[in-house]
Amino acid sequence: MNFSHKPVMLKECIEGLNIKADGIYVDGTLGGAGHSVEILKLLGPEGLLIGIDQDREALEAARIKLKAVNTKGSFVTIHANFENIRQILKAQKIKSIDGILLDLGVSSHQLDTEERGFRYLKDAPLDMRMDQNREFNARVLVNTWEKADIARVIRDYGEEKWAVRIADFICNARIQNEITTTAQLVDIIKAAVPAAARREGAHPAKRTFQAIRIAVNRELEVLAKALPEMTESLKVGGRLCVITFHSLEDRIVKQFIRSKSGRCTCPPGFPKCICNAVAELRATPSKPIIPSKQELEDNHRARSAKLRVAEKLI
């Protein structure tokens, strides 16, 4: 299995994790193991890497790469979603960890495997599942969800101006025939988006495909649920590193770190602070890190990436 993968902002992630040789680190989105290989290289005999991924193909390819690393450290790979971080650590009899990395979004392998149905430029079965064991997929969504729910997903997750119109066209089309392929869905979206709008900006199906993928995999819901549990799992001084690829993800991470930074939450005008806010996390640095000009030239999939790093204080 050829699982090519260019890790985004590799150097910045390794620096952000501030790796200790005897530390325990979690890669919550193991993928092609590009980041994990470098983490494992820095671990000593007491160090441990835990790689988590919901894609079994990714896990198999990652195991092969990690086994080939010349290191004294050890690793385990686990088929799961990172939202289950508490249960995963408990099963490994681990109370706390030194760092955790999330590289969100779709891996290069998933995008390039046409039958997974993530791409709007290739005809394939309408799927978009990161975890192939789950029954719910894009085909089920577009053929069974209510029009209002489809419109909401496309509007909120895709930030698509024509969400209601696209949902209307989807629901009308599925009355005639079930929508089973990416090409069918692309044609429906193109028909729904006015010609003038199609001539501007990105591919007319890009935002809708993004939105459906996010909904199928519960990406934003999982991220919002997992961040507090990951923070609780960190040791004092431990690092949380999250790479996001669109504004919705980044907003969740940014607002979470800010909510844990000790800022007063009392209503404006209160004469005295009564919320007793305590700083649990410190953003390091305060602003997101973006790929270098050279990386953007070498890896076009890094173009929308942002890395946020936070250190646990208490």
pLDDT tens digits along 45-94: 999 999 999 989 889 999 999 999 988 999 999 999 999 999 999 999 99
Structure-derived torsion over alpha carbons of residues 183, 188, 194, 198, reported in degrees to the nearest 10: -10
The DSSP secondary structure of 24-52, one letter per residue, reads: EEEETT-TT-HHHHHHHHT--TT-EEEEE
Nearest CA to 205 out of 192, 219, 218 is that of 192
H/E element, 241: strand 234-244
User: What is the residue range of 146's domain?
Assistant: 115-217
pLDDT at 120: 76
**What does the pLDDT read at residue 271?**
80
Helix (H) or strand (E) holding 151: helix 147-158
Helix 10-17 vs helix 34-41: crossing angle, to nearest 10: 50
Q: What is the pLDDT of residues 93-149, one digit of tens each?
A: 999 999 999 999 776 555 555 567 667 778 899 999 988 889 999 999 999 999 999
Instruction: Choose the final residue of a domain: 162, 191, 217.
Output: 217
Do 184 and 256 have their domain in common? no
The burial of 298, by beta-carbon neighbours within 10 Å (0-12 exposed, 13-18 middle, 19 or more buried), is given as exposed
List the CATH number of the domain containing 152: 1.10.150.170
- SS3 of residue 251 by DSSP: helix
Q: Are residues 241 and 212 in the same domain?
A: no
Q: Kindly report, residue by residue over 246-280, the tens digit of the pLDDT.
A: 999 999 999 999 999 988 888 887 888 888 889 99
pLDDT tens-digit series, residues 214-252: 999 999 999 999 999 999 999 999 999 999 999 999 999
Last residue of a domain, one of 171, 188, 217: 217
Domain tally, the chain: 2
Of 194, 217, 240, which residue sits at a domain end? 217
**Residue 1 falls inside a structural domain:** no
| 127 shares its domain with 276 | no
**14 inside domain:** yes
Residue 89 lies in a domain: yes
Query: Residue 268's CB: how many other CB atoms inside 10 A?
Result: 5
State residue 113's pLDDT score.
58
Beta strands 48-53 and 74-79 are: parallel
Structure tokens at 201: 């900006």
Q: What is the radius of gyration, based on Cα positions, of the chain?
A: 21
Please tell me the predicted confidence (pLDDT) of residue 115: 60
pTM for this predicted structure = 0.89
Contact 108, 8 (CB under 8 A): no
> Which CATH number is 52's domain given?
3.40.50.150
Tell me, yes or no, whether 170 and 181 share the same domain: yes
Whether residues 243 and 295 share a domain: the answer is yes
- Same domain for 198 and 121, yes or no, is yes
Token look-up 């089309």 returns: 173
